[in-house]
């Protein structure tokens, strides 16, 4: 059996997909917030309570830090959801 079984590839694909989606969402909302300060402010403040070191009022630096947090957490969530789906789908065959 190879190291990259179909299940592993699915988990990796889900991790990359989650990473891109959450990272891009954070990047776009952060950039729009720089242009229009009211846009997404509650969304960004919520992430400020979740991620240590992130402050939604630090300008472009906060957008970069938030995007990195989004990429990492999106990958973790994508992988976890894929793994849980695979784990529980074997129970209901």
Total domains present in the chain:
1
Residue 45 lies inside a defined structural domain of this protein: yes
In a domain, 48, yes or no: yes
Instruction: Report the percent of the chain where pLDDT is more than 90.
Output: 63
Asked whether residue 1 is domain-assigned, the answer is no
Question: 79 or 89: whose pLDDT is higher?
Answer: 79
pLDDT at 1 over 50: no
∠ CA 35-37-40, nearest 5°, is 100
Expressed as residue numbers, the domain containing 38 is 16-89
Identify the sign of the CA torsion 62, 65, 67, 69: negative
Q: What is the mean pLDDT of residues 34-51?
A: 91
9: in domain: no
Q: What is the pLDDT of residue 8?
A: 77
Q: Does the residue 80 lie in any domain? A: yes
Judge whether 70 lies within some domain.
Answer: yes
Separation of alpha carbons 63 and 69, rounded Å: 10
């Amino acid at each position: 059996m190879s190291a990259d079984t179909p299940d592993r590839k699915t988990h990796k694909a889900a991790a990359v997909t989650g990473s891109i989606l959450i990272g891009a969402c954070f990047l776009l909302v952060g950039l729009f917030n720089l242009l229009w300060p009211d846009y997404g402010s509650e969304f960004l403040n919520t992430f400020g309570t979740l991620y240590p070191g992130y402050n939604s009022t630090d300008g472009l630096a906060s957008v970069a830090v938030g995007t990195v947090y989004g990429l990492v957490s999106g990958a973790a969530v994508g992988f976890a959801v894929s793994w849980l789906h695979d784990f529980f789908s074997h129970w209901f065959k």
